[in-house]
Amino acid sequence: MTEWPVALRGVTESLVATPGPNGRWNVAALGLHAGDVVTAETWGRTRTRRNFERTGVAYVGFTRDPRRFVEAALGVHETDEPTLPSADARVRVDVTRREAAERDGVPWAAWTLEPTAVAVREERVPVTNRGFAAVIEATVAVSRLGVDAYDDDALRRRLDRATDVARRCGGPAERDAIDRVHELAGEGSP
Q: What is the residue-level pLDDT of the chain in tens, covering all 190 positions?
A: 899 998 899 999 999 999 999 999 999 999 999 999 999 999 989 999 999 999 999 999 999 899 999 999 999 999 999 988 888 999 999 999 999 999 888 899 999 999 999 999 888 777 789 999 999 999 999 999 988 888 999 999 999 999 999 999 999 999 999 999 999 998 755 5
Which residues belong to CATH 2.30.110.10 in the chain?
A: 11-120
pTM higher than 0.85 = yes
Closest of 185, 39, 171, 189 to residue 100, by C-alpha: 39
11-120, CATH topology level: Pnp Oxidase; Chain A (2.30.110)
* 3-state secondary structure (DSSP) of residue 18: strand
Pairing state between β 11-19 and 87-103 = unpaired
CA 189 to chain centre: 22
- DSSP code string of 71-92: HHHHS-EEESSS--TTEEEEEE
Helix (H) / strand (E) containing 24:
none
Closest of 182, 178, 176 to residue 165, by C-alpha: 178
Domain 130-184 coded CATH 1.20.120: no
Q: What's the confidence (pLDDT) of residue 189? A: 53
Helix (H) / strand (E) containing 38:
strand 38-43
Pairing state between β 11-19 and 57-63 = antiparallel
Which residues belong to CATH 1.20.58 in the chain?
A: 130-184
Question: Positive or negative CA dihedral for 183, 80, 86, 4?
Answer: positive
Q: What's the confidence (pLDDT) of residue 188? A: 57
Q: What's the confidence (pLDDT) of residue 126? A: 73
Q: What's the confidence (pLDDT) of residue 127? A: 77
Helix (H) / strand (E) containing 190:
none
Helix (H) / strand (E) containing 158:
helix 152-169
